[in-house]
């Protein structure tokens, strides 16, 4: 089989790079990092509408709901560019996770264009509403809910911590796991009073805790169907985080390599010393090994192959490792300046740390790969 | 009334990549991948604003490039242009501005446009003479350095940038107008646009298709020849005066020397 991106996929990616080079500059990121301390959201709304005009927000949304109806392979390229540019907005969560989840729930409920989900989906595709997901995390033992307390009855307030994009999202798909009743997935509309901002190590990350009430009308899936949808979500989360990590890693290596050519010691650029070169080469090797596993996972999920979960976990494990290594190497190559706020490296490094740990870190995903391999062996 | 607008677009080597000159002809190497000249994005955007294609208007791109190159045209088609005409012919290698103007004029004539837009000059050649040559060959009026363009019925109103400010110029259609960078903010090609651009028609023509004689164009028809290329002389560094109490006097004597005081 031909395993390369099509010309069109490369062009879409190129368009994102061109747009973000102008709309998401280092100066923008710095303003946002400082602004967050003062409660501002930077140019988030402006940037989001440019992404919507481009078509990125509705990339996975079916055409019937105003989206482009494209697949995971296209979004992977877009998210790599988002990583490269350090895009702070929750494109991964909105376009990559919430949108396909809403589309699946809508299709299962036979909603059609007039349904509540369908209407939200159209707004998400058009960029009028940012969507996010919460209440779920990936562990080596399986999916766990972060929503507490699990209420005995569906009425009552529950708390869902660490929701990305909490303050800009107009709608959130939130999971909870009720003792005895199993998984539930709720569609929660934004309530500014119900959001408490959580500080993140990455100052441009919009993180918050949601306080909300589950009601019968917010429930969009439950039981086995909810579980299947959340397992699907976990695969995508691993895949798309991996894609964004590839872009972050590429940027950190580029920054470090550029610095190594510029910074002189003993009368020569430090990049001419083997001890520096080898570090950078190791990071590059880790990145280039992670890349094809991410592309394979995208292909497996797009075609819904049986191995899709194993492939997604492999991608996330390798991309997280590559990002962690690149962050460490880039920091070391930069020397003391790398630790400072003034050095741009920090913007990408902190993002990489956060994303490498999100949706299951490398050891978690390695153990998931192992479980899949053992299960496959047992079947033989 | 539906408008028919032609935009002259040039596909140039990526300015971000190092450029090289042919060692024999001293002309710019254009054999690699070419991209849409940034300065032409303004003309394309202006055309799309004056003649929205979803309202039945037509925006046709006209370009001349070697090796059937269409990458830059695809970018402009993705922005929303309707179709493109590319003139690509080995006989065109070494064309000067006038030869290029003859070729573009012949192609533009086929479209019978109401308005022809072009950039004031290309980013790789910088002659800035082509649009007016095209206008002359087509027998059309031309208005240059537009910083604003509006169409009203059968005439065009242009604010023409000058050193002191701007002139208001009105001309009957059809007319050739050159637009400055910043006349409008070019849109980004959207994903939908990029996908749609694949199926938009690009007419690739040879000079024979346009009825042009090979002797009139290319290196054979060129009225200019580049005989030599040399590096720009580096400037010598200025004199540094260390003030030893006589600084002011020495500055005054220098100013007297160059007859400023």
* Domain range annotation of chain A: 7-130, 132-222, 226-379
CATH number of A7-130: 1.10.540.10
Indicate the SS3 state at residue B180.
coil
> B59-81, pLDDT tens digit by residue?
999 999 988 889 899 999 999 99
> A365-379, pLDDT tens digit by residue?
999 999 999 998 998
Give yes or no for B33 touching A (CB within 8 A).
no
Would you say residue B231 lies in a domain? no
- The size of the A-B interface in CB pairs under 8 A is 32
Do residue B192 and residue A11 have CB atoms under 8 angstroms apart?
A: no
- Do B123 and B9 meet the contact criterion of CB atoms below 8 Å apart? no
Would you say residue B257 lies in a domain? no
pLDDT score of A154 more than 70: no
pLDDT at B101: 92
- Which residues of chain A are within 8 Å of residue B38 when distances are taken between CB atoms? none
pLDDT at B206: 92
Would you say residue B253 lies in a domain? no
The most distant pair of C-alpha atoms in chain B lies apart, rounded to whole Å, by: 77
Please state, in angstroms and rounded to a whole number, the distance separating the CA atoms of residues B227 and B142: 32
pLDDT at B31: 76
Please state, in angstroms and rounded to a whole number, the distance separating the CA atoms of residues A354 and B32: 41
Q: What is chain A's mean pLDDT, rounded? A: 92
- Around Cβ A128, how many Cβ atoms within 10 Å? 14
- Do A15 and A46 meet the contact criterion of CB atoms below 8 Å apart? no
Give yes or no for A59 touching B (CB within 8 A).
yes
Helices (H), B35-178: 38-50, 71-79, 97-111, 130-138
Do residue B191 and residue A18 have CB atoms under 8 angstroms apart?
A: no
Among chain B residues, the shortest Cα distance to A59 is held by: B191
Which residues are within 8 A (CB) of A107 and not within 5 positions of it... i.e. 6 or more apart? none
Please state, in angstroms and rounded to a whole number, the distance separating the CA atoms of residues A288 and A187: 38
> A172-209, pLDDT tens digit by residue?
999 998 888 889 999 999 888 889 989 899 988 999 99
**Unique residue bearing structure tokens 């990549």:** B17
Would you say residue B196 lies in a domain? yes
Within 13 Å and on the Cβ side, how many CA atoms surround A80?
Answer: 23
Indicate the SS3 state at residue A89.
coil
- Which tokens belong to A363? 């050891």
Nearest residue to B178 via CA among B147, B214, B213: B147
pLDDT at A115: 81
Which among A8, A54, A70 has the least Cβ separation from residue B190? Answer: A54
- Do A127 and A115 meet the contact criterion of CB atoms below 8 Å apart? no
Would you say residue B250 lies in a domain? no
Domain count, chain B: 1
CATH superfamily placement of domain A226-379: Butyryl-CoA Dehydrogenase, subunit A, domain 3 (1.20.140.10)
- Around Cβ B256, how many Cβ atoms within 10 Å? 10
Give yes or no for A6 touching B (CB within 8 A).
no
Give yes or no for B199 touching A (CB within 8 A).
no
Q: Model confidence at A114, in pLDDT bands (50, 70, 90)?
A: low
Q: List B62's β-bridge partners, or say none.
A: B8, B85
Do residue A18 and residue B192 have CB atoms under 8 angstroms apart?
A: no
pLDDT at A36: 54
pLDDT at B19: 79
- Do B39 and B178 meet the contact criterion of CB atoms below 8 Å apart? no
Give yes or no for B223 touching A (CB within 8 A).
no
Q: Please measure the distance between the N-terminal and C-terminal CA atoms of chain A and give it in whole angstroms.
A: 26
pLDDT at B13: 87
- Return the axis-axis angle of helices A308-334 and A345-357, rounded to nearest 10°: 150
Please state, in angstroms and rounded to a whole number, the distance separating the CA atoms of residues B84 and B102: 18
Do residue B194 and residue A68 have CB atoms under 8 angstroms apart?
A: no
Q: Model confidence at A150, in pLDDT bands (50, 70, 90)?
A: low
pLDDT at B214: 85
A174-193: string of b/e by CB count within 10 Å (b at 16+)?
A: bbbbbeeeebbbbbbebeee
pLDDT at B55: 87
pLDDT at A290: 98
Do residue A11 and residue B194 have CB atoms under 8 angstroms apart?
A: yes
Interface with A, mutate which of B191, B192, B193, B196 (most A CBs under 10 A): B191
- Which residues of chain B are within 8 Å of residue A19 when distances are taken between CB atoms? 188
**Unique residue bearing structure tokens 């971000």:** B16
> B110-138, pLDDT tens digit by residue?
999 999 999 988 888 778 899 999 999 99
- Which residues of chain A are within 8 Å of residue B73 when distances are taken between CB atoms? none
CATH number of A132-222: 2.40.110
Please state, in angstroms and rounded to a whole number, the distance separating the CA atoms of residues A106 and A99: 10
Give residue B27's domain range. Answer: 4-221
Would you say residue B89 lies in a domain? yes
Altogether, the residues listed in chain B come to a count of 261
Domain of residue B37, CATH code: 3.40.50.620
Whether the predicted interface score ipTM is above 0.90: no
Do residue B191 and residue A50 have CB atoms under 8 angstroms apart?
A: no
Which among A18, A50, A55 has the least Cβ separation from residue B191? Answer: A55
Please state, in angstroms and rounded to a whole number, the distance separating the CA atoms of residues A111 and A119: 10
pLDDT score of A113 more than 60: no
- Which tokens belong to A64? 């019937």
- Around Cβ A196, how many Cβ atoms within 10 Å? 13
Please state, in angstroms and rounded to a whole number, the distance separating the CA atoms of residues B69 and B193: 19
Q: How far is B187 from chain A (nearest CA, A)?
A: 10
Edge-to-edge strand ranges of the sheet holding A207-212: A158-164, A207-212, A195-197
- Which residues of chain B are within 8 Å of residue A55 when distances are taken between CB atoms? 190-192
Would you say residue B112 lies in a domain? yes
pLDDT score of A116 more than 90: no
Interface with A, mutate which of B36, B38, B188 (most A CBs under 10 A): B188
Q: List A265's β-bridge partners, or say none.
A: A268
Q: Model confidence at A40, in pLDDT bands (50, 70, 90)?
A: low
Q: How far is A9 from chain B (nearest CA, A)?
A: 10
Would you say residue B28 lies in a domain? yes
**Pairing state of beta strands B202-205 and B83-87?**
parallel
Please state, in angstroms and rounded to a whole number, the distance separating the CA atoms of residues B72 and B2: 26
Distances (CA, A) of A28 to A15, A93, A247, A352, A367: 19, 21, 18, 18, 38
Interface with A, mutate which of B35, B70, B190 (most A CBs under 10 A): B190
pLDDT at A356: 98
pLDDT at A155: 60
Tens of pLDDT along chain B (261 residues)?
789 999 999 999 888 887 788 888 787 877 778 889 989 999 999 999 999 988 889 999 999 998 888 989 999 999 999 999 999 999 888 888 889 999 999 999 999 999 999 998 888 877 889 999 999 999 999 999 999 999 998 999 999 999 999 999 999 999 999 999 888 899 999 999 999 999 999 999 999 999 988 888 888 878 877 888 888 888 877 878 888 888 899 889 989 988 888
Do residue B191 and residue A12 have CB atoms under 8 angstroms apart?
A: yes
- Do A238 and A316 meet the contact criterion of CB atoms below 8 Å apart? yes
Which among B191, B195, B198 has the least Cβ separation from residue A54? Answer: B191
């Amino acid at each position: 089989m031909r395993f390369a991106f099509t010309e069109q996929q490369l062009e879409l990616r190129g368009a994102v790079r061109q747009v973000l080079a102008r709309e998401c500059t280092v100066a923008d990121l710095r303003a946002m990092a400082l602004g967050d301390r003062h409660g501002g959201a930077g140019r988030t709304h402006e940037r989001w509408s440019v992404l919507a005009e481009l078509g990125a927000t509705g990339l996975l949304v079916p055409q019937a709901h105003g989206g482009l109806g494209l697949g995971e392979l296209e979004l992977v390229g877009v998210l790599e560019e988002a990583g490269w540019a350090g895009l702070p907005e929750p494109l991964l969560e909105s376009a990559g996770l919430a949108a396909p989840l809403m589309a699946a729930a809508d299709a299962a409920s036979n909603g059609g264009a007039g349904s509540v989900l369908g209407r939200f989906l159209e707004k998400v595709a058009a960029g009028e509403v940012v969507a996010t997901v919460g209440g779920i995390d990936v562990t080596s033992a399986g999916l766990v809910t972060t929503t507490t307390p699990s209420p005995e009855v569906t009425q009552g307030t529950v708390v869902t911590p660490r929701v990305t994009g909490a303050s800009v999202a107009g709608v959130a798909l939130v999971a909870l796991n009720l003792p005895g009743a199993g998984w539930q997935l709720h569609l929660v509309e934004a309530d500014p009073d119900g959001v408490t901002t959580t500080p993140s190590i990455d100052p441009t990350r919009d993180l918050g805790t949601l306080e909300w009430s589950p009601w019968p009308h917010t429930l969009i899936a439950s039981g086995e169907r909810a579980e299947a949808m959340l397992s699907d979500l976990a695969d995508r989360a691993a895949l798309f985080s991996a894609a964004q990590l590839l872009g972050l890693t590429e940027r950190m290596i580029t920054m470090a390599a550029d610095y190594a050519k510029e910074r002189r010691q003993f009368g020569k650029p430090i990049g001419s010393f083997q001890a520096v070169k080898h570090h950078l080469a190791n990071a590059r090797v880790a990145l280039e090994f992670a890349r094809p596993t991410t592309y394979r996972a995208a292909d497996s999920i797009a075609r819904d192959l049986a191995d899709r979960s194993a492939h997604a976990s492999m991608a996330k494990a390798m991309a997280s490792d590559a990002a962690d290594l690149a962050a460490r190497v880039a920091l070391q190559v930069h020397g003391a300046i790398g630790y400072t706020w003034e050095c741009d490296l920090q913007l990408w490094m902190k993002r990489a740390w956060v994303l490498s740990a999100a949706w299951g870190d490398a050891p978690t995903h390695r153990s998931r790969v192992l479980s899949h391999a053992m299960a496959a062996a047992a079947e033989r | 009334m539906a408008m028919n607008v032609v935009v002259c677009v040039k596909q140039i080597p990526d300015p971000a990549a190092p450029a090289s000159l042919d060692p024999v002809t001293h002309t710019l190497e254009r054999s690699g991948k070419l991209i849409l000249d940034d300065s032409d994005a303004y003309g394309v955007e202006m055309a799309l604003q004056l003649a929205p294609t979803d309202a039945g208007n037509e925006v046709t791109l006209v370009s001349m490039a070697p090796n059937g190159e269409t990458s830059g045209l695809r970018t402009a088609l993705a922005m929303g242009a309707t179709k493109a005409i590319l003139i690509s012919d080995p006989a065109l290698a070494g064309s000067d501005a006038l030869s290029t103007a003859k070729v573009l004029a012949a192609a533009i004539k086929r479209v019978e446009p109401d308005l022809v837009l072009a950039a004031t000059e290309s980013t790789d050649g910088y002659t800035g003479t082509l649009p007016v040559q095209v206008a002359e060959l087509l027998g059309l009026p031309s208005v240059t350095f537009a910083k604003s363009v509006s169409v009203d019925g059968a005439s065009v109103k242009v604010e023409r940038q000058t050193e002191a400010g701007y002139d208001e110029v009105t001309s009957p259609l059809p007319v050739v107008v050159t637009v400055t960078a910043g006349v409008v903010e070019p849109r980004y090609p959207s994903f939908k646009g990029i996908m749609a651009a694949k199926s938009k028609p690009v007419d690739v023509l040879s000079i024979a298709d346009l009825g042009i004689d090979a002797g009139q164009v290319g290196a054979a028809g060129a009225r200019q020849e580049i005989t030599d290329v040399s590096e720009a002389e580096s400037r010598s560094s200025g004199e540094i005066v260390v003030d030893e109490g006589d600084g002011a006097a020495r500055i005054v004597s220098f100013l007297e020397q160059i007859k400023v005081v």
